[in-house]
Structure 1
Amino acid sequence: MIIRIIDGITEFTGKLCAWTLFAVGFFITFEVLMRYVFNAPTIWVDEISRVLQVWVVYLGAAYVLKHREMVTIDVLLSNPNSVWRRLAETLAIIVLFIFAGTACYFGFQLWLKATMAGHTTDTYLAPPKMITHAPVWVGSALLMLQGAAQLYRVWAEPLPSDDVMGGAH
């Protein structure tokens, strides 16, 4: 039950990231049109696009992990159901927990400090830094949750074959 909830959140955020990148492409196209056709550049497209892209990177990591699209090299461990492959996958997820946990902890501290102090960016729009700092800890927390779901799958379900040469995924 909890695995399905985590997977559902991850699926939702992954699709949200895809639509966000579509919006960023639209914003940039709009900016090019405004700047070079109408000679009236905007002041918001650059900063909004950058902030959205940061959100996409951090939220999208859990989606990529769920769909097993992270970089993997399985020359030695090509049998997906061997105990060695399961141990290697477990070790990879533990390393993920260390890095994502560190990013989540320190990212939250930075976000909390900026939020409590009311810091804003040093740009013309000056959005609150809580918006730019939040994706680090939110995305890292989601990545750890999805990592826990994947760790469960490593030992409770047969691992999918990663036959990259066998066709499209």
Structure 2
Amino acid sequence: MTSQPATIAGNPVLRVPPAAPAVAAAYFGASLAFHADVSDVAEALAAGGDPGFVLLDSRSTASWDQGHIPGAVHLPTALIAEQAPRLLDPAVPVVTYCWGPGCNGATRAALALAGLGYQVKEMLGGFEYWAREGFESETWQGRERRSADPLTAPAGTDDCGC
């Protein structure tokens, strides 16, 4: 006896059926062109030398002072149109970040930069997940590293396997 698939009407996951594989591949491929995750950014920065991109913190000065990623450029979204041409090389891709997944500030910054002709990606998770994954942050008082949150980073290893 073969099992019957769950009825679509009674299954909230399949109420809207999955996209065709080719459509899904195009979507997920495009997503990776627009996004980078915290671990990949950390790995690129830790490798030393030129990572091939500029990391841009688009938050306010008060937020920057509260803590930011070492080596990031501080450029609040409201100042991008005025200051980006002076601070950023249009030939170098930019990765934006803001507070975290509940904030779309990095998305707004990426949109502003793309409108000025920059190649841009958004760092998923923002500063929140940078800190939660245990990567070093910086304030005017110096650098600090928090313990990784086991809900966001693997325990006992640097490799999550994804």
Q: TM-score, normalised by structure 2?
A: 0.27
Pick the structure with more strand per residue: 2
Question: Taking CA–CA contacts closer than 8 Å with sequence separation of 6 or more, which of the two structures ends up with the larger relative contact order?
Answer: 1
Q: TM-score, normalised by structure 1?
A: 0.26
Pick the structure with more helix per residue: 1
